[in-house]
A and B are shown apart, each in its own frame.
Chain A
């Protein structure tokens, strides 16, 4: 029986003359890992922002965990979290201070213990006492991921979750995210340009181009449908608009 935790119905975002997202509808089932794939400007970050209410849609409806996000987003934000390279944490606070503040904002109990656990899992224990501004890009990404899991989110939105990480660390993080999903039953929606990551983590892929959903399926079925060997080739076909299948198999 279907149990969607993320639902978008006819969502559109227009900035003056620019149509960033055009009448997008899709839903994501509980416990699944879904990827938003598309080139730059396809609307991935815009969609993630609208899901959290950071950005207001021009039209349409967004329902998260059964709650209308345009009317009652504060009812569910304690159960959701975000990791994105487009936002930062206060540079002059230490990593521990940053995590403490966010843990309190999310109403986390036993804050110190939760931070220690995440510090171990994301290998950031060695620099909990350092100010965030002194960290490397890869270290910041790990801290941002730790922040995004402080509240044991039921829905985790990830924008380029392993950006700036070396392949080994990225692989460990992907493993952790997969374990987290399996252990908690959480739903993950991620925007990524890393096709290996998508193939490894995701059950479901939504292909976007110029703000519209142009296809949706599992990674294996997309490969089959487009007659390609890698998801990267499918991505390039879709991004350039040279795919042969058009909107065949489009799910909503």
Chain B
């Protein structure tokens, strides 16, 4: 109960931050919307030039929206944690009864909220602009959403842990780390397109299973439970690794005296 109270206090802290600044709310929606518009027009062009795309016209738009779930989920964790580092607040936080795992819980919750605002806005925008509703995917959408969100959380915690360990000089990892896996996640093309050795790498990522699963629903109207279960199992592993790295970095920061001194 006390633990929930402290998680709630930290969620309140991040809510204050977002609520106070309209540019922050706008920013949450801005990039997903820009991506959506870009890929919307690309789709319109290719619909008359690609027989593959003509079979499932919304596949690129679904892909860009779901990719943003992963990206926003990761940023939601990393950037919220960076706020504590920018404001040199870690010393006060961890002198309080707040536990590191409770901070992790709060970061995940606020990431969920930020992702729903950002990606939800873009998904709603797609309906009037391109006559595409991702909600047409039905219940499988929930499986896609949560698998990608959890993967984003895992990478976000990994990045937060590395920045806690190596300092804010490494903060650009928050923006670039996720793009290292984009080419092998099969966002806009099937995994079969990749060279054999790279396909092995791709199938080690939860995101590849989700995007393959998305195409199965859109092209074949089949929900591949096997792919979702594999993604969920990999996500469990990813989340354990991400949380483990973050907690190890926290212990290292306590050993090296960084909690009092880290900041801008």
Chain A residues with CB under 8 Å of chain B are 15, 45-46, 49, 52-56, 74, 77-78, 80-82, 84, 86-94, 97, 100-102, 104-107, 131, 147
Contact = CB atoms under 8 A, between A and B. Distances in A.
B89 A88 contact: yes
A104 to B, nearest CB: 4
B12 A88 contact: no
B256 A147 contact: no
B204 interface: no
Interface residues of B, number: 37
Contacts of B94: 52-54
Given A55-B257, A84-B91, A86-B91, A101 B97 contact: no
B97 A104 contact: no
Interface in B106-134: none
Nearest to B93: A105
Contacts of B256: 15
Contact of B96 (A15, A45, A100, A105): A105
Contact of B88 (A15, A77, A88, A147): A88
A92 B17 contact: yes
Contacts of A104: 5-6, 8-9, 12
Contact of A105 (B9, B87, B91, B255): B9
B21 A49 contact: no
A101 B13 CA distance: 6
A94 B19 CA distance: 12
B12 A86 contact: no
A46 B88 contact: no
A102 B92 contact: yes
B100 to A, nearest CB: 11
B27 interface: no
A53 B254 contact: yes
Interface string B1-18: 010011011101100110
Interface string B238-261: 000000000000010011110111
Given A77-B97, A78-B97, A90 B13 contact: yes
B97 A106 contact: yes
A74 B97 contact: yes
Contact of A90 (B2, B87, B99, B261): B87
Given A15-B257, A55-B254, A92-B17, A87 B88 contact: yes
Most buried by A among B93, B255, B260: B260
Contacts of B255: 55-56
Given A15-B256, A56-B255, A104-B9, A90 B17 contact: yes
Interface in B1-46: 2, 5-6, 8-10, 12-13, 16-17, 20-21
Contact of B21 (A82, A87, A92, A100): A92
Nearest to B16: A97
Nearest to B87: A90
Contacts of A88: 87-89, 92, 263
Nearest to B98: A105
B90 interface: yes
Contacts of B12: 100-101, 104
Contacts of B99: 74
A45 to B, nearest CB: 7
